[in-house]
Amino acid sequence: MLNLLKDMSMVPKGLRYKTMIAFSLMSLIPILVCAWLIITYIFPNTDLFSGLTLGNISLILFMAIFISILGLYITKEMIDPVIKIAEDAKIIAGGDITRSININREDEVGDLSKSLNIMTQKIKENMEELKAYGEKTKLINREINKKVLALSGLLQIGNLISSSKELNKTLSFIIQRVSDVENDSASLLMIADESSKDYAVAASHNIEENKLLGLKLKQHEMTLDNLAKKLGLKNIVSLPVTAFGKICGMLIVGNSEKDFIFADDEKELLKVFAKQISIAVENDTLVRKTKELSIRDETTGLYNYNYMKTRLAEEIRRALAYQRPCGYLLVDVDDFKNFYTANGEAKSEALLKEVSSILQCSVTEIDRVCRLRDDKFVVILPEKNKRQSAHVAEEIRKKIEDGLGKSIRSDKKLTVSIGVSENPIDGSAAEELMEKAERLVCNAKSLGKNRVAV
């Protein structure tokens, strides 16, 4: 019965069928008006409608009006959904893809609304997918930028290490690059002291100074929880820094972001920076050892302090074994600091080179001339006693007084003060001869400079 009523109704019918019904119903009024005009004016005396009463005519008119209104209603029911669909489609086209068209009909209008909703849903899904791809692309670009920044930093670090820059500057640069790569996180490098084995701050970035002031930790205190507490960080990771196969420090990176976890690739990148720190520490150690093993002074070409001390100790042992003397001269350029301030580094180096040249020309082949430090020089005189050593010292003093100022175009006369000591009179060890000569030089300067003190 329900299916029969549904088939008899116009609900499942299409727009074309409904349009024809509405057109037919709305056409009855003009047809009836035309019929009335014909009867009234064209066939006024016909008996065709003479039997019609006023009630019959009223009924006919009522039915005509009802049919007309029914046609209007059907037309309105067809047009209103189309208008609503057009309005909703306009809103969706404006960008509001959350909008849906709520028209439940079983005709073409219902099919159109369903199709538009399906299209809108697909657009929404595509937009969400594009948004997800956009976020992924943003993350990929961020990772690429991080890798490029890290590579650039590693190249700069390599240049610093190869140029043998000061270790502190290299380590500070590395720690800053670590912070830059890790989204401006806090970074810290702690190096273990060779004697006490305590870990102390070597370089840091983005950490408050008051938290680092006096910070020294034992090996067992270098835990993540303890470091996070002392540095005021929520998330932290630490990596060992090794040098010559032994752990010599810790690279610590952290932040206070919520629900943050260091990814595996970030840890791998930090391992690369830790390795660079290891290379920098090893390189600095090797450079220092090389300098210690070197026996020549870079500026003057004379033997350096390390060679002098070793050679003086050997000559003293030989002199004691064969009961022979060994002289030691400490030559100090007078007022060198004033000369440096007035004339600059270039002329000061030229002065030191001229002094070294005069010293070398004043001794024999078995004697050794060394640069002790800055403006101080040493002459080791094997087989010479104090009197003979004092004679050599006086010759050196005169040569420098007479010719040093002219060669470097200095208006002021340049002089030296010389202290003379001898083994075994002034000591049987290198340190004793050196201390004795140092005191004698101080006495010479206090007496007016430009003299030999014995």
Domain boundaries, the chain: 2-93, 164-291, 305-453
Q: Which of the pair, 220 or 20, is modelled with greater confidence? A: 220
CA 173/CA 158 separation, integer angstroms: 11
Q: Would you place residue 46 in the very low, low, confident or very high pLDDT band (cuts 50, 70, 90)?
A: low
Overall average pLDDT of the 3-21 stretch: 51
Contact 312, 433 (CB under 8 A): yes
* Cα–Cα distance list, 189 to 249, 262, 277 (Å): 7, 18, 9
Sequential DSSP letters for 256-320: --TT----HHHHHHHHHHHHHHHHHHHHHHHHHHHHHH--B-TTT-SB-HHHHHHHHHHHHHHHH
Contact 385, 323 (CB under 8 A): no
Helix/strand/coil for 52? coil
Q: So what's the pLDDT on residue 48?
A: 52
What single DSSP character describes residue 107? S
Contact 218, 243 (CB under 8 A): no
Structure tokens belonging to residue 89: 């489609």
| Residue found under tokens 């752990």 | 247
Of the CATH numbers 3.40.50.1820, 3.30.70.920, 3.30.70.270, 3.40.50.1100, which one belongs to the domain with range 305-453?
3.30.70.270
Same fold? 164-291, 305-453: no
Candidate from 50-54, 97-101, 328-332, 371-375 with smallest mean pLDDT? 50-54
Neighbour-count burial of 335, counting CB atoms closer than 10 A to its CB (0-12 exposed, 13-18 middle, 19+ buried): middle
pLDDT digits (tens, 9 = 90+) for 232-243: 898 999 999 998
Residue 167 pLDDT exceeds 50: yes
Residue 50 pLDDT exceeds 80: no
pLDDT digits (tens, 9 = 90+) for 363-405: 999 999 999 988 999 999 999 999 999 999 999 999 998 876 5
Residue 331 pLDDT exceeds 70: yes
Superfamily of domain 164-291, CATH level 4: GAF domain (3.30.450.40)
What phi and psi, each to the nearest 5 degrees, are found at residue 331? Answer: -105, 120
